[in-house]
Amino acid sequence: MYRGVLSVLFIFLMIQDLLGNAWQQALATKKAQLDLHWNTSRPFIYRDADRNVVGLEYEIMTSFQAYLKDKYQIDLDLNWKESRSFYGVLETIRSSIEPNELGISAFSITEDRKQYVRFTDPYLPDITVLVSSQGTPIVRTFDEINRMMSNMEAITIKGTVYEDYLRDLKKQLNIDFQIRYIDSDKNILDYVSQTPNSFCFIDLPIYLMWIKKGSTLTRQNFFTLRGTGYGFIMPMNSDWNVPFSEFFKNPESQVRITEIISNYIGAELYEFIGNLYEGETLGTSLLTKEKEIQLALIKNANLKLEQEETFKRILISGIVITFFLMVVIAIMLYNNQKTTKILLYQKNQIEEQQKIIHRKNDQLMNRNNKLIALNEEKNNLINILAHDLRSPLSQITGLSGLLERTKVKMKKEEQSYLSMINEAANRMSKMIMKILDVDAIEGDQNMMMRETVNVNQILRDIAIRYRPAAAQKNIRLQLVTCLENEALQTDHLLLFLILENLISNAIKFSPPETKITLEAHCKDEEVVFKVSDQGPGFTDKDKSLLFNRFQQLSAKPTGDETSIGLGLSIVKKYVTDLGGEIQLESQPDKGSTFIVNFPVR
């Protein structure tokens, strides 16, 4: 019988020795599996909206997994096991003899727990504060504390250090306040904020994140506790504390852990907690930080109000301008349809009269010719107006594009209004394209009207119109004017359209973060305009097709703009009509420069 007892004891000791050398087995086999028991504790570990396990402790464990793979070539499998409660995680590890089990749920390192579980090194300082419901006065003396606590209820989670602190508080104050227990996956601060005359102990990082969101609770200055820190727990016979100790002391791992924690609680709060943990003036530092957070919240709220007011003013202006332009287009369309109907009606009358009275044929033909001329004049007017409308429409599109960059700071209703403006502007652009009569720019009729044009002024007008469109693509538009206010005898409208088409094409085909230069050089006998960009340039094949109508060249717009291949053919015709010359200097991938010469007289 004695031998049997010794055999059982020997086998038991062998099993204990085998279980206690789990890390050594992992080093030998290059494989291991850890069963990770956890319960929700935001932001340490929880499930996201897609039911995936996330949190700063989850990422620390995956970093530890990568560390073992990199240093020891060990394939570590992490088996996540969700527990029903925080206390359940603690009891599972406490009663386990399996060394490959870990508890992960923001466990504070305490001397009591060290009696039945083994801890890793701490990865985050552990500071706990006492917080009471909104409206609770800040107490300073023991008499005030006793009077307040006698009528209040404590909120906590079973098995946590919060519960231990509450029991210690009862003993120290000799007050029998009520304790309400909630599920461990719930947020204690939610309950305190919704329950009058209640209080709780809570970790400092969670409290600071709470007030940073704008929530209001009262932190009591007494019973602010500074612990050893947070760590992972394992059975007493586990030797996994050895690689964890190496991991937490590794400089690269420390940098990675700092990044992980900063991502969840903010770099500023993480640095503050670290400095606070090492400092002596704990209460003063906490009060100062709370004031800083509250002032930052007030500043951000005021800034947001100012941005909203600015956006509303711009939005109202955009709506008014858009409405006005839509009314103008609607009137033009109505007049166009009305005139067309009149022409059709008159044409039908003429055809009927021709069948009946051949003798009036000459008279009817003359009248018909006059009506056709009137219709052509009307179409020319519409074309001019449509071209002029495109410039303010480009400004609206550019301004709305700039607003798009701050879209994430807008309310959903404001984002909807901005989308409506963009859609209205796009519709108007398509309407203008339909109205434009291409035949008007193809005809041989000479519509030129000579007048005195200030060279510098027309350059400034072009720059003002197209700087918003250029800014939308982060393109710098540089203006170089004549040294003197040179006057040019030419058609102001045709000259403006020439320069507008050239600068519009430069913006359309230039990539972001480049420069476009619009300049003029005034000489004794001529004025030279130059439009230079840093775009894709033109190939030899492009140059041979440059001024053809509806010609699509190799370069493509860089901002999803549209191009029908008419702009340069328009420029060529108007330059010729004004008695000027146009040249192109360009090489592929080295930008382009269009040079337009006009005689001064």
pLDDT digit string, tens, across residues 440-458:
455 555 556 788 888 888 8
Strands (DSSP E) found in 359-471 = 451-454
380 found inside a domain: yes
8 Å CB contact between 417 and 315:
yes
217 found inside a domain: yes
| Cβ neighbour number for residue 36 with a 10 Å cutoff | 23
Given the structure tokens 């319960």, which residue do they identify?
A: 39
Which residues does residue 587 pair with via DSSP β-bridges, in sequence order? none
Cα distance from N-terminal residue to C-terminal residue, the chain:
129
| Cβ neighbour number for residue 275 with a 10 Å cutoff | 11
**Is the same domain home to 347 and 389?**
yes
Average model confidence (pLDDT) across the chain = 79
Least confident of 343-352, 472-481, 540-549, 551-560: 551-560
Structural domains counted in the chain: 4
Domain boundary among 385, 409, 437: 437
**Is the same domain home to 118 and 131?**
no
Q: Which residues of 529-565 are buried (b: 16+ CB within 10 A; e: fewer)?
A: bbbbbbbbbbbeebeeebbeeeeebebeebeeeeeee
**Is the same domain home to 271 and 241?**
yes
Name the residue with higher pLDDT: 70 or 171.
Answer: 70
**Is the same domain home to 464 and 345?**
no
Instruction: For residue 272, give every residue at least 6 positions away whose Cβ sits within 8 Å of its Cβ, in sequence order, or none.
Output: 208, 285, 289
Indicate the residue type of 481: T
Domain boundary among 404, 437, 470: 437
8 Å CB contact between 503 and 461:
no
Q: What span, in angstroms and rounded, lies between the C-alpha atoms of 12 and 7?
A: 9
**Is the same domain home to 104 and 252?**
yes
**Is the same domain home to 235 and 173?**
no
Residue 372 has pLDDT above 60, yes or no: yes
Q: Are strands 46-47 and 53-54 parallel, antiparallel or unpaired?
A: antiparallel
Range of the domain at 115: 22-122+230-279
H or E stretch including 178? strand 178-181
Q: Which of 571, 565, 600 is nearest to 583 (CA)?
A: 571
**Is the same domain home to 465 and 587?**
yes
**Is the same domain home to 457 and 578?**
yes
392 found inside a domain: yes
Q: Are strands 118-119 and 230-234 parallel, antiparallel or unpaired?
A: antiparallel
Which residues does residue 199 pair with via DSSP β-bridges, in sequence order? 132, 154
Over the stretch 133-152, which tens digit does the pLDDT of each residue have?
887 887 777 777 777 877 88
pLDDT band at 421 (very low <50, low <70, confident <90, very high): confident
**Is the same domain home to 395 and 543?**
no
Tell me which DSSP letter residue 124 carries.
B
Indicate the residue type of 46: Y
H or E stretch including 4? helix 2-19
DSSP string, 21-49: THHHHHHHHSEEEEEEEE--BTTTBEE-T
pLDDT of 18 reads 45
**CATH number of the domain enclosing 554:** 3.30.565.10
Specify the 3-state DSSP secondary structure of 131: strand
Q: What is the mean pLDDT of residues 456-484?
A: 86
8 Å CB contact between 382 and 435:
yes
10 found inside a domain: no
**Is the same domain home to 57 and 80?**
yes
**Is the same domain home to 71 and 41?**
yes
Residue 15 has pLDDT above 50, yes or no: no
Domain boundary among 210, 226, 242: 226
362 found inside a domain: yes
Q: What span, in angstroms and rounded, lies between the C-alpha atoms of 242 and 114?
A: 16
**Is the same domain home to 530 and 601?**
yes
291 found inside a domain: no
Q: What span, in angstroms and rounded, lies between the C-alpha atoms of 432 and 258?
A: 57
343 found inside a domain: yes
Q: What is the mean pLDDT of residues 110-137?
A: 88
15 found inside a domain: no
Tell me which DSSP letter residue 554 carries.
S
**CATH number of the domain enclosing 41:** 3.40.190.10
